[in-house]
């Protein structure tokens, strides 16, 4: 089981407290699709993904960004049992969506960059460490049902 220190819990709660799910979700997904354009393979039906401006204005991407952040919130609310909480989501990503799990890290990195932009110097190295640990636990849980 993942061990969280009190400091790590506080750090992650603190990040979520200031999080605008819609805005952060949209920008993170946009950066992912721009910085790692091969990830666009999963968004064939989403309409105009031509450039960053178009993606940022795309309502389907915005909606999906929120879905992703709501998923992370689920992990936050079940921090001591993320592995089991994400069983269904893991199956969804592997069996139905068939997402290469390597992509989870790419989106995670974009989420981290977006947080850094929003929080600037409040995003201290310790908070970054806690946040990235949280994301790697989520990623590990999402990878679990792949075989």
> Please, where are the H alpha helices in 18-81?
21-35, 52-56, 59-77
Q: Tell which one of 4, 21, 43, 123 touches other proteins (CB under 8 A).
A: 123
Q: How far is the CB of 124 from other proteins (least distance, A)?
A: 9
How many residues interact with other proteins (rule CB under 8 A)? 21
Q: Which of residues 77-116 bind other proteins (CB under 8 A)?
A: 109, 112-114, 116
Q: At what angle do helices 6-17 and 125-143 cross, to 10 degrees?
A: 90
Q: Which of residues 9-38 bind other proteins (CB under 8 A)?
A: 30-31, 34-35
Choose between 75 and 114: whose C-beta lies nearer to other proteins: 114
Choose between 80 and 126: whose C-beta lies nearer to other proteins: 126
**CA–CA separation, 39 vs 101, rounded Å?**
11
**CA–CA separation, 146 vs 24, rounded Å?**
28
> Rg (Cα) of the chain, in Å, rounded?
15
Choose between 31 and 93: whose C-beta lies nearer to other proteins: 31
């Amino acid at each position: 089981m993942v061990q969280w220190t009190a400091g790590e819990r506080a750090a992650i709660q603190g990040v979520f407290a200031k999080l605008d799910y819609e805005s952060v979700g949209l920008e993170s997904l946009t950066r992912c699709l721009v910085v790692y354009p091969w990830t666009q393979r999963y968004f064939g039906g989403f309409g105009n993904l031509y450039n960053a401006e178009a993606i940022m204005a795309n309502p389907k991407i915005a909606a999906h960004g929120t879905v992703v952040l709501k998923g992370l919130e689920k992990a936050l609310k079940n921090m001591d049992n993320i592995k089991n909480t994400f069983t269904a989501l893991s199956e969804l990503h592997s069996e139905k969506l068939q997402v290469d799990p390597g992509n989870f890290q790419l989106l995670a990195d974009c989420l981290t960059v977006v947080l850094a932009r929003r929080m600037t110097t409040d995003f201290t190295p310790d908070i970054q460490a806690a946040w990235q640990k949280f994301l790697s636990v989520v990623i590990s849980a999402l990878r679990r049902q792949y075989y």
